[in-house]
C-alpha cells in the first residue's frame, strides 16, 4: 500500500487528454511538499517528467502538465500519442515517515 495513491490504469484515444491523480495526506502533499512525476517506458528506468510547479526537464514535451490542490496532485497528458504508453509515478516527501515516497504507479494505455 503506497503512501501516495494513484489509479492503476487510465486509457484514452489518440489525441485525447488523460489525467492521473495522486492522492496524499496532510503529512506529504497537504503539508506543501513538492510533487514530482516520472515516466517509465517498458523495460527502462523511470525518467523525471515534471518537477516542482509544472517545470519540465529539457526535451520533455509541453503536452505534459501538472497541478496540485490540497492533499492531491494531478498529471495531465494532452494530445495523447502512442509513445505515451508507459507507467507514471508521482513522488513527494512525507514528514511522518521522514522519507521520500512514491505513488504506486499508473499505466497509461492508448486505445
Partner 1 sequence: QVQLQESGPGLVKPSETLSLTCVVSGTSISGYYWSWIRQSPGKGLEWIGYISYTWGTKYNPSLESRVAISVDTSKNHLSLRLSSVTAADTAVYYCARDFDPFEHWGQGTLVTVSS
Nearest-approach distance from CB 23 to partner 1, in angstroms: 15
Nearest-approach distance from CB 48 to partner 1, in angstroms: 5
> In angstroms, rounded to a whole number, what is the distance separating the alpha carbons of residues 96 and 33?
12
Q: Rule CB under 8 A: choose which of 34, 61, 63, 110 binds partner 1.
A: 34
Concatenate the DSSP letters of all residues of 18-84 into one string: EEEEEE--TTTGGGT---EEEEE-TTS--EEEEBTTTB--TT--TTEEEEEETTEEEEEE-S--GGG
Q: Rule CB under 8 A: choose which of 30, 46, 60, 107 binds partner 1.
A: 46
Q: Rule CB under 8 A: choose which of 10, 72, 80, 89 binds partner 1.
A: 89
Q: Rule CB under 8 A: choose which of 16, 41, 54, 99 binds partner 1.
A: 99
> In angstroms, rounded to a whole number, what is the distance separating the alpha carbons of residues 106 and 7?
6
The residues that touch partner 1, with contacts defined as CB under 8 A, are 2, 34, 36, 38, 44-48, 51-52, 57, 89, 91, 93, 97-105
Amino acid at each position: 500500500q503506497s503512501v501516495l495513491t494513484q489509479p492503476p490504469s487510465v486509457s484514452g484515444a489518440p489525441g485525447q487528454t488523460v489525467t492521473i491523480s495522486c492522492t496524499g495526506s496532510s503529512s506529504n502533499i497537504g503539508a506543501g511538499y513538492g510533487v514530482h512525476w516520472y515516466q517509465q517506458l517498458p523495460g527502462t528506468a523511470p525518467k523525471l517528467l515534471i518537477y516542482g510547479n509544472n517545470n519540465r526537464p529539457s526535451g520533455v514535451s509541453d503536452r505534459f502538465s501538472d497541478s496540485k490542490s490540497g492533499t492531491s496532485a494531478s498529471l495531465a497528458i494532452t494530445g495523447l500519442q502512442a509513445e505515451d504508453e508507459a507507467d507514471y509515478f508521482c513522488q513527494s516527501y512525507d514528514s511522518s515517515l521522514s522519507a521520500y515516497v512514491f505513488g504506486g504507479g499508473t499505466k497509461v494505455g492508448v486505445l
